[in-house]
Structure 1
Amino acid sequence: MMNIHILPRSIYLTRHGESEYNQIGRLGGDSPLSENGAKYAEKLRDYFKIESLGDLRVWSSQKIRAAQTASRMRDLARNVEYWKVLDEIDAGICEGLTYEDFEERYPKQFAERDKDKYHYRYPSGESYEDLVARLEPVIMELERQSDVLVISHQVGLSWLYVRESAEIFMDSFQAVLRCILAYFTNKNREELPYLKVPLHTVIKLTPKAYSCEVEMFHFDIQAVNTYREKPGHPSIGDLSPSVVAGSHLVSVSSPVFYY
């Protein structure tokens, strides 16, 4: 997919707060927020309350951790909608496993995934290629919106799309947000599955005619590191963002909490 929208606007992306599965390194699943994840959801609400975005509509994945994050926005939003299409990539028979379990039980599959993460499809699950196809109608629908603010899961986690006087904010899962980031920043298929989308971070995108400005706001709330680098290419997921700090935010120039 290629970003074809040239009207001026900003897009804000964020993952759900840290989940209990994040803490123990398990893939997928439907676990609730951890204590720190719940703290992030509250701080996220405070952040957008200060932003005063106006007419806010929320779209969320149906997964518990995303829904819990989105629910904090109810008093700021005109409505909150939960979309299954925004759920995280389906890990099939690997749902609930740690990466160590995955490698031990299915070494051939694990090696195939590291070799070609974009095209690799989990047994009984999805690939990033499948996910891009799943999300394309959602992105096209967002391109047509004029007065909506949407929050959805990271399949990503979240993205806020502002068009003229309208706002859209999406809260979603990591894989989903990678697809959305790749769309707006023109990343290729090799880079897409390795884009760094940290937990407890808001990514602000400002698309231009031939580029996209990227700013990252990291909330000072601890979260585990679940990011796996591409073997032999440790820097492929870097977005080279502008660094922005605030009273309740810290720079994400440090790699400590990249995911």
Structure 2
Amino acid sequence: MSTENEVAEIEEAKIPGNYSARKIQRWNPSSIYATNIIHNNFRNNVKSNDAIHKNLPVNHVSPAQMYSTDSGRMFHAGSICIIMVGLPGRGKTNLSISLCRYLRWLGVRTELFHLGDYRRKNTDLNKETDLNFDKLNSNSYFSLQPENSNIKNLKSKIKSELIEDIIGFFETSNGQIAIYDAINGLSSERKRLLDFFKSKNIKCLFIESIIDDVELLNENIRDAVNSPDYKSWDSEAALKNFTNRIKANEAYYEHLDSKVANLPFIQSYNFGEKILINDLKHDFLTTKIIYYLLNAKIKSHSIYFARCSLNKLKFKDDPPITENGKVYINKIYNTLASSFTDQKIPKDLVVWTSTRLRTIQSSQIFKNAGCTVRHRPELTQLNPGAAEGLTDQELDEKFHESYVKHLSDPYHHRYPRAESYHDLALKIEPLILEMEKLSHDVLIIADETIIRIFYGYLMASNANDIPLIEFPQNEIIKITYHTYNNEIENLVVDGIAKE
């Protein structure tokens, strides 16, 4: 029995990095993943192309990461290889990239390993031999059971390179989840992968994408011919070639089977319409993956971002829209309309704003055009707290210690009674999942602080860059989903100051 004088002692952690992240503070600036102090003269525009296919740099910090560790890994999740399964044209690549984007957002060190990239790399080095792309087609490379022995050896070599890189990702890059994107259509092959990764203390999760909706399948096949394989191809020839590729696999393809002992898998039908799971332990990451798959859709639409008017207001102020604000939103409306083929705002456009009065009133023009308008409290701008309205010099004088911390980590730091960008990222996660479910264009009218967070998700940004990204008042930002990456375009709004 305990007594009043007994004092419980905290056992020293076996993994110091994880312990220091919990014991000292949630974000550990001494971590090898923390950035150096950001100088004021670096506050330029750091917008860039989609970084989802770039290898994670050692100093990458994820926007919605829940805690930091010196290893950069979630200490309770282990190493997982997600092995995609499915016939060509079933959205495996689209799903792999979307899932990678979401997992990185959550702070899971995740990398993509597309078998097609490895094949293209090998065949590009041998354009004058039997290994070039056209010859591969004629030699039935894309069959699950090719008859040509040279093709069999080549496929084995390419897969070995990919698996070797996966192991290197786990062993030398602090990797946590590798996503292996390929058909993986034979039960015997999947069993070998399961046994091999188990011998390396890496868990496997098989995800099969099944599409039995004919309309959805045809749409997905049309999208698949935009693959890098068909860069210089005529669209009809590419479609015919890809269709033949599907037929070459159908004869041998085997679906995931629950009768195979200890095979952990998820079968997703028509992108989340129905999900079957087998032999899964519902740990944190597995649960997150299942929930994401229930929300993920094939995406080829665009997300538009426009800043709201009256951006100089105090956080608690909530006045109605001004005359200048009405002029501004009309110009936003007309610029956006002119970007569509028929020069009209489509009625299936979904508009999101915050619950502030001026943004609600700003959206009325879109409601009048027949669009669905939704007001989300999560879209309220970052609360600056006690720092509101103060210059850098005043912040330094009034909150010197806090100001120095802010310079070191402007993404996670909060001034007194304020929010951080990290707080915003956690707050809008439900909206990100809702956005993943939509298949129509979305316009988000919000403060620049909110746009930065959404941009960080859609373009796989390092969290440390997000506070520095500039979105001028006179631009609508258009981010379009594509199978392999998201693309950004700036639509300039005439007659509006840049600010």
TM-score for both structures, normalised by structure 2 = 0.37
Give the Cα separation in 2 of the matches to 1:168 and 1:222.
Answer: 22
Q: How is 1:40-59 mapped onto 2 (pairs within 5 angstroms)?
A: 40-49=328-337, 50-59=343-352
The structure where strand makes up a greater share of residues is: 1
Of 395, 409, 421, 1:116 maps to 409
Q: How is 1:96-175 mapped onto 2 (pairs within 5 angstroms)?
A: 96-97=389-390, 99=392, 101-145=394-438, 163=439, 166-175=440-449
Does the aligned pair in 2 maintain the 1:119–1:129 contact within 8 Å?
yes
Relative to structure 1, the CA distance from residue 38 to residue 99 in structure 2 (aligned partners, 3 Å threshold; closer, same or farther) is: farther
Relative to structure 1, the CA distance from residue 210 to residue 78 in structure 2 (aligned partners, 3 Å threshold; closer, same or farther) is: closer
Matched, 1:30 2:317: yes
* Cα shift readout 1:102-143 (whole Å, capped 9, x = no counterpart): 444333323322221111112112111111100111110111
Q: Which position in structure 2 is the counterpart of 1:217?
A: 491
Matched, 1:16 2:114: no
Bigger mean CA offset, 109-118 vs 2-11: 2-11
Instruction: Report the residue type matching 1:8 in the other structure.
Output: S
% of aligned pairs identical? 28
Residue 98 of structure 1: how far off its partner (Å): 5.1
Instruction: Report the residue type matching 2:346 in the other structure.
Output: L
Q: Which position in structure 2 is the counterpart of 1:205?
A: 479
SS at match of 2:464: coil
Q: Which position in structure 1 is the counterpart of 2:469?
A: 195
Residue 11 of structure 1: how far off its partner (Å): 1.4
Residue 69 of structure 1: how far off its partner (Å): 2.5
SS at match of 1:73: helix
Does the aligned pair in 1 maintain the 2:335–2:493 contact within 8 Å?
no
SS at match of 2:425: helix
Give the Cα separation in 1 of the matches to 2:364 and 2:443.
Answer: 13
Instruction: Report the residue type matching 2:328 in the other structure.
Output: Y
Instruction: Report the residue type matching 1:221 in the other structure.
Output: G
**What is the total number of aligned residue pairs between the two structures?**
201
Give the Cα separation in 2 of the matches to 1:71 and 1:181.
Answer: 25
Higher-RCO chain (CA-CA 8 Å, sequence separation at least 6)? 1
Does the aligned pair in 2 maintain the 1:57–1:77 contact within 8 Å?
no
Give the Cα separation in 2 of the matches to 1:211 and 1:38.
Answer: 35
Does the aligned pair in 1 maintain the 2:475–2:493 contact within 8 Å?
yes
Does the aligned pair in 1 maintain the 2:479–2:489 contact within 8 Å?
yes
TM-score for both structures, normalised by structure 1 = 0.67
Query: Computing the radius of gyration over CA atoms, which structure comes out larger, 1 or 2?
Result: 2
Relative to structure 1, the CA distance from residue 133 to residue 43 in structure 2 (aligned partners, 3 Å threshold; closer, same or farther) is: same
Stretches of structure 1 lacking an aligned partner (at least 5 in a row): 146-162, 224-256
Residue 211 of structure 1: how far off its partner (Å): 2.3
The structure where helix makes up a greater share of residues is: 2
What is the RMSD of the two structures over their aligned residues, measured on CA atoms? Answer: 2.6
Residue 52 of structure 1: how far off its partner (Å): 2.8
Of 101, 110, 131, 1:3 maps to 101
* Cα shift readout 1:12-57 (whole Å, capped 9, x = no counterpart): 111113x1x53xxx66443655654432211112234434312233
Stretches of structure 2 lacking an aligned partner (at least 5 in a row): 1-63, 65-99, 103-295, 338-342
* Cα shift readout 1:58-103 (whole Å, capped 9, x = no counterpart): 3210224423432332211344332211100111223354555444
SS at match of 1:74: helix
